[in-house]
Structure 1
Amino acid sequence: MPCLAVYTNLPKDKVPGDFLQQASVFLGNQLAKPEHYVTVRLHPDQMMMHGGSSDLCGFVELYNISDGAKNKEHALAIAEFLESKLSIPKNRFYVTFTNLKRGDVALDGKTFA
């Protein structure tokens, strides 16, 4: 059920055409979850500032069924992935984690609990 949401002021025409596919594979591998459960949402062309500057920046949210024990590891991997694929410097976006319980997420009308 992991969902990675990336909000950025990067123009849509600067996003690599295969970014969503690469992000889906990356996230499944990083979280050790089957890719068929992964959702990736990219929101380019956002009106954004970070640290008082409208230079290239972003805001990232990761929703995952997890206890959060590996958030530190995931933070670094996500930062490196986004910097390499979208050229957003690691110090120009936050990553926030929403760690959900199995009973808080449903697919096909059934919770994961």
Structure 2
Amino acid sequence: MPALELKTNVKLEDAKPFIQEFSKFSAELLGKPLAYIATSYTYNEHLAWEGTFEPAFLLSVASLDNITPETTEVYSKKLFEFLKEKLALPGNRGYIVFTDPGRSNIGYQSTTFESIFGKK
């Protein structure tokens, strides 16, 4: 399941190629099949950081069974690098929030991941 939601004040003329690349990158980074990756990009011209509208972002990463203090350190480094390279987003103007909502809290195909894969 990973679900990644990026909100930024950096506008892309055509976001689809970025989203596809971000999806593939995220699947590899998180070690999950691309078939389960959901990503979104939202342009928000009103996103401010330090009271200014210079490039900034908020990224939410929800993923099952692989969010630990050790993995988030690695994920954070790689995601910040990716966002800097692809969108010129500086590391000091964004947050990444990692969550593992638990298998019983994610619905998929009319059931939950706990029903599909069992309890962890």
Measure, in 1, the Cα distance between the counterparts of 2:38 and 2:31. 14
Name whichever structure is richer in strand by fraction: 1
Measure, in 1, the Cα distance between the counterparts of 2:45 and 2:36. 27
Rg larger for: 2
Deviation, structure 1 residue 6: 0.6
Deviation, structure 1 residue 46: 3.1
Runs of 4+ aligned residues of structure 1 deviating over 3 Å after TM superposition are none
Measure, in 1, the Cα distance between the counterparts of 2:92 and 2:73. 15
Q: Superposed, which structure 2 residues align to 1:76-87 within 5 Å?
A: 76-87=77-88
> Which has the higher mean CA deviation after the structures are superposed, 62-71 or 35-44?
62-71
- Structure 2 length-normalised TM: 0.85
Number of matched pairs: 112
Report the equivalent of 1:4.
4
Measure, in 2, the Cα distance between the counterparts of 1:58 and 1:74. 16
Which amino acid letter does the alignment assign opposite residue 84 of structure 2? E
Measure, in 2, the Cα distance between the counterparts of 1:46 and 1:66. 34
Report the equivalent of 2:57.
58
Q: Superposed, which structure 2 residues align to 1:1-80 within 5 Å?
A: 1-13=1-13, 17-66=16-65, 68-69=67-68, 70-80=71-81
Unaligned runs of 5+ in 1: none
Deviation, structure 1 residue 12: 3.2
Which amino acid letter does the alignment assign opposite residue 104 of structure 1? N
Deviation, structure 1 residue 27: 0.6
- Structure 1 length-normalised TM: 0.90
Deviation, structure 1 residue 101: 1.0
Measure, in 2, the Cα distance between the counterparts of 1:17 and 1:103. 31
For the aligned residues, what is the CA RMSD? 1.5
Which amino acid letter does the alignment assign opposite residue 46 of structure 1? E
Deviations 1:77-98 (A, max 9, x none): 1111111111111111100112
Unaligned runs of 5+ in 2: 115-120
CA contact (8 A) 1:9 1:56 kept: yes
